[in-house]
Amino acid sequence: MDGLVTRLIAMRDEVAHLMAQLDIEDKVAQIKDIETQASDASFWDDPTAAQKLMQKMSRLKAQVEKWLTMQQRLKDAVELAELDDSMQDELSAEADALAVELDKLSLQAMLSGEYDAEDAILSIHAGAGGVDAQDWAEILERMYLRWIEQSGYKAEVIDRSVGDEAGVKSVTIAAKGDYAYGYLQSEQGVHRLVRISPFDSNARRHTSFAKVELWPDIAEDIDIDIKEADIRVDVFRSSGPGGQSVNTTDSAVRITHLETGIIVSSQNQKSQLQNKDRAMQVLKARLFDLERQKQQEELAALKGENVDAGWGNQIRSYVMHPYQMVKDHRTNYETGQVSAVLDGRLDEFMEHYLRSNIASAPSE
């Protein structure tokens, strides 16, 4: 029984350490503060601000409750193990279950970056490889939509440019849910596909590329002033599914930021105004991330680190011929279950990426 008590105490201490790292106490205080505000009679005088606060509280509660539950379960298990030798079998099973849950929660503790808990905006762009690359971009789109669904998140297709023969030239998707941005950070970069091309009448092997970009979807919290003179707004007819109004009115909006050349589009909202608002949100997120990248590159240059802002080498290869393998070149994690990965099983790649980042992070 002494070994079991020692194991449970070690897990309890680890949970306490991770809770401190995640500022769980501060999150609990924020929840109580919002609850106090919500009890005021004037709270709903500004419905937009009130709803925003309620959404924040809901997200904080989702983050906090799992940790408080884990903490209480470990506290109870330690007390029972110290008091009652007859419950060793039951407590051993509980310790095993808690260890599995703690492993999952410890991964969340790695997502402690400033924006890791936020929603995400993900864009996929077909690269070299012609129609094969556009088909590959569409395969990646399906893969990420599957992952979003399997993770319990909500997906919003903001813009989608279909290929001339097959696939997509580009697609922009919002993933809405806790830590969507934190998890999806592992996907930024160039993805390489090797397969027998279904578009080659001679059945030759082709290599295709697609680039994945990612930004935190925090436009409402970004204080960026974009003047009308800074942008060009074009309207066009939406394409793809969405009903008659999508195909018969110029409701889609494309915004070009003149200084940076960044182009964003939105075509899946119900009206031109809504599409413009959503496109502006994406533009703000991209401008914010661009500035953040500049700061990181300047800091890296001061430290003497190599900075590659271009396409660079692929981060992951998906090989379907002459053998089956998906390999992440940053972590060396690989699997032969190509179909499962393309069906959205990305958690192992994300976990290895996060753990690799933690392991390689410089100590303070």
Q: Any idea what the CATH number is for the domain that residue 276 is in?
A: 3.30.160.20
> Which residues are paired to 126 by β-bridges?
210
> Which residues are paired to 208 by β-bridges?
193
Helix, strand or coil for residue 157? strand
Given 109, 138, 156, the domain boundary residue is 109
Within a domain: 308: no
d(CA 15, CA 67): 8
Are residues 42 and 96 located together in one domain of the fold? yes
Within a domain: 315: no
d(CA 192, CA 205): 13
In this prediction the pTM is 0.74
Instruction: Give the count of beta carbons closer than 10 Å to the beta carbon of residue 126.
Output: 26
d(CA 131, CA 139): 12
Within a domain: 41: yes
Helix, strand or coil for residue 120? strand
Domain containing residue 60: CATH number? 1.20.58.410
Looking at residue 313, its pLDDT comes to 72
Are residues 19 and 50 located together in one domain of the fold? yes
Given 109, 141, 168, the domain boundary residue is 109
Per residue in 237-284, pLDDT tens? 876 544 434 445 678 999 999 999 999 999 988 899 999 999 999 999
Are residues 6 and 103 located together in one domain of the fold? yes
Given 77, 109, 141, the domain boundary residue is 109
Show the low-confidence residues of the chain (pLDDT under 70). Answer: 1, 219-223, 239-249, 298-312, 358-364
Q: Please answer whether residues 163 and 169 qualify as being in contact, where contact means their C-beta atoms are separated by less than 8 angstroms.
A: yes
- Domain count of the fold of the chain: 3
Within a domain: 25: yes
Are residues 249 and 287 located together in one domain of the fold? yes
Are residues 104 and 141 located together in one domain of the fold? no
Q: What is the DSSP string of 202-260?
A: T--EEEEEEEEEEEE--GGG------GGGEEEEEE---SSS-HHHHHS--EEEEEETTT
Are residues 12 and 158 located together in one domain of the fold? no
Q: Sheet of 168-176: strands edge to edge?
A: 154-162, 168-176, 120-126, 205-216, 189-196, 314-319, 325-328, 334-335
User: 171 lies in which domain range?
Assistant: 120-221+337-360
Token pair for residue 78? Answer: 């330690």
Within a domain: 285: yes
d(CA 197, CA 135): 10
Token pair for residue 287? Answer: 């401008």
Token pair for residue 205? Answer: 């092997």
Within a domain: 322: no
Angle between the 47-83 and 2-21 helix axes, to the nearest 10 degrees? 160
Within a domain: 350: yes
Are residues 295 and 257 located together in one domain of the fold? yes
d(CA 267, CA 164): 18
Q: Which position has the token pair 């596909």?
A: 193
Question: Nearest-CA neighbor of 214 among 346, 108, 124?
Answer: 124
Within a domain: 328: no
Looking at residue 35, its pLDDT comes to 95
Are residues 103 and 124 located together in one domain of the fold? no
Q: Which is it for the CA torsion 166, 167, 169, 171, positive or negative? A: positive
Are residues 249 and 264 located together in one domain of the fold? yes
Q: Are strands 168-176 and 154-162 parallel, antiparallel or unpaired?
A: antiparallel
Domain containing residue 205: CATH number? 3.30.70.1660
Are residues 48 and 194 located together in one domain of the fold? no
Are residues 102 and 232 located together in one domain of the fold? no
Are residues 210 and 355 located together in one domain of the fold? yes
Looking at residue 1, its pLDDT comes to 63
Helix, strand or coil for residue 133? helix
Looking at residue 203, its pLDDT comes to 85
